[in-house]
């Protein structure tokens, strides 16, 4: 993995995945629209949105400090870093190195979240503060489940027919829904003051900064979907089979997420705690099952 060709290979894959990231969000939105019997926007709409944002002027609050300008760069870089790191992991055969990288990925997302939350407070608007507070709240409750399921994944190696793996898959899906700001925890489509979480935090952003943040959130989503995909039929040896099956898995996950979004209502903020504690307890059960070798 340390050879030059290996590094170039990883960077190439990361580039492809980053390029595909808005498309995954497009699939989710398209699926939702289809189910709502709407025509909706095309699959590539997010690319157009980002291009449009990059060419727009920015409006910046008078109260902000350098944190506000640094945050989009940090968030974007951290997401790309997480994507690179996730590709260094060999799913199916976890070594201690792989495990260490997987944990570090969550920390890198922590870095992005920290700066975004600070930027939310920087403009001095109540919305930003509300968003920051809620984002930190939700994510800190999602964290335990994510860490425990990562351990289960390493023990079970993504063998789908193990009880522990299935439970972990269930648990981590709930946590991933929270992390990627999806219904029932958060809703990306709304800008209603009282319900938004992620969107409230980035309310003051416009133009290219917003474009970077949006791109980063697409990339974060694909990273979490990739982690989720490791729980489902992970081949022990990577090969052409993995190449073919991986996009299919990501597409399947997106469609399932769309189904979940369409069939549930957004929860009250404090119900999200119950949601995430449920995910945590499932993760605990999964870990017990894993230690029993099930």
Report the residue number, 104 or 163, with the smaller CB distance to other proteins.
Answer: 104
Closest distance of CB 58 from other proteins, Å: 5
Report the residue number, 256 or 294, with the smaller CB distance to other proteins.
Answer: 294
Token couple for 135: 């984002």
* Integer CA distances (angstroms), 44 to 37, 38, 58, 179, in order: 19, 16, 24, 23
Closest distance of CB 224 from other proteins, Å: 16
Report the residue number, 39 or 62, with the smaller CB distance to other proteins.
Answer: 62
Rg (CA), the chain: 19
Closest distance of CB 245 from other proteins, Å: 27
**H or E stretch including 277?**
helix 269-291
Residue from 28, 76, 102 nearest 220 by CA: 76
Q: Cα separation of 263 and 125, whole Å?
A: 33
Q: Cα separation of 84 and 215, whole Å?
A: 15
Closest distance of CB 206 from other proteins, Å: 9
Report the residue number, 252 or 284, with the smaller CB distance to other proteins.
Answer: 284
Q: Cα separation of 77 and 24, whole Å?
A: 20
Report the residue number, 136 or 256, with the smaller CB distance to other proteins.
Answer: 136
Q: Cα separation of 76 and 73, whole Å?
A: 5
Closest distance of CB 201 from other proteins, Å: 11
């Amino acid at each position: 993995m340390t050879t030059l060709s290996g590094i170039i290979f990883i960077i190439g894959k990361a580039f492809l995945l980053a390029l595909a990231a808005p498309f995954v969000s497009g699939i989710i939105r398209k699926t939702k629209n289809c189910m709502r019997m709407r025509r909706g926007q095309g699959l590539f709409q997010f690319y157009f949105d980002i291009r449009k944002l990059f060419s727009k002027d920015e409006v910046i609050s008078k109260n902000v400090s350098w944190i506000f300008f640094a945050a989009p760069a940090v968030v974007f870089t951290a997401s790309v870093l997480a994507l690179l790191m996730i590709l260094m992991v060999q799913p199916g055969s976890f070594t201690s190195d792989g495990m260490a990288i997987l944990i570090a990925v969550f920390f890198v997302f922590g870095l992005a979240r920290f700066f975004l939350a600070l930027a939310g407070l920087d403009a001095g608007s109540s919305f930003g503060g509300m968003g920051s507070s809620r984002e930190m709240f939700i994510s800190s409750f999602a964290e335990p489940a994510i860490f425990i399921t990562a351990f289960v994944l390493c023990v079970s190696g993504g063998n789908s027919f193990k009880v522990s793996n299935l439970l972990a898959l269930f648990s981590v899906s709930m946590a991933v829904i929270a992390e990627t700001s999806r219904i029932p925890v958060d809703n990306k489509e709304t800008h209603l003051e009282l319900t938004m979480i992620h969107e409230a935090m980035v309310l003051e952003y416009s133009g290219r900064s917003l474009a970077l943040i949006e791109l980063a959130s697409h990339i974060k989503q694909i990273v979490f979907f990739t982690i989720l995909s490791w729980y489902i039929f992970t081949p022990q040896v990577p090969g052409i089979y993995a190449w073919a099956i991986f996009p299919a898995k990501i597409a399947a996950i997106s469609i399932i997420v769309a189904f979940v979004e369409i069939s549930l209502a957004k929860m009250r903020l404090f119900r999200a705690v119950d949601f995430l504690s449920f995910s945590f307890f499932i993760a605990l059960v999964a870990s017990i099952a894993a230690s029993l070798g099930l």
